[in-house]
A and B are shown apart, each in its own frame.
Chain A
Amino acid sequence: MSAPHEPFAGFDEVARGGAPRGVEPAGGAAAWARDLAFGARLAAGGGREGWIRTLLTAVGVGLGVALLLLAAAVPPMMTVRDHKRVARDSMSAGYLAKPTDSTLLVADAGTTFRGADITGELLRPEGAKAAAPPGVAHLPAPGHMVVSPALRRLLAAQPLLRERLPYTIDGPIGHAGLMGPAELYYYAGSDRLTARDANYEHGNADRIAGFGHHSNSAVMGPTFDLLLVVMLVVLLLPVAVFVATAVRLGGERRDRRLAALRLVGADNRMTRRIAAGEALFGSLLGLLVGGGLFFAGRQLATHVTIRGISAYPADMTPDAALAVIVAVAVPLAAVGVTMLSLRGTAIEPLGVVRQSVGRGRRVWWRLVIPAVGLLLAPLFGKVQGDGKLNMYQVATGAVLMLVGVTAVLPWVVEQVVRRLGGGPVAWQLATRRLQLNSNAAARLVSGVTVAVAGAIALQMLFAGVDDEFVFSTGADPARAQAVVSAEVDSGAQARDFTHRIAATKGVQHAYGYVDSAVTQPDAASVRDGDFAYLPVAVGDCATLGQMASLHGCAPGSVFLVPPADGAGDTQAARTYLRPGGRLDLNGPPREAYTGTPRLWTIPRDARTAQSRPDPSGSLGWGLFATPEALDTSRLTSETATVMVALDPHDPDAAEYVRNTAAKLGIGVDVLHVGTTTTKSGYAQLRRGLFAGAALTMALIGASLLVMMLEQLRDRKKLLAVLVAFGTRRGALAWSVLWQTAIPVVLGLVLACAGGLALGAALLGMVGRPFHPDWGAMAGMAAIGAGVVFAVTLLSLPPLWRLMRADGLRTE
Chain B
Amino acid sequence: MSIGHTLLGLLESGPRHGYDLKRAFDERFGHDRPLAYGQVYSTMARLLKNGLVEVEGIEPGGGPERKRYAITDAGVTDVETWLARPEKPEPYLQTTLYAKVVLALLTGRPAADLLDSQRAEHLRLMRELTRRKSSGDLADQLICDHALFHLEADLRWLELTAARLDQLAAEVTR
Physical contact A–B (CB less than 8 Å): no
Interface, chain A (partner B; CB < 8 A): none
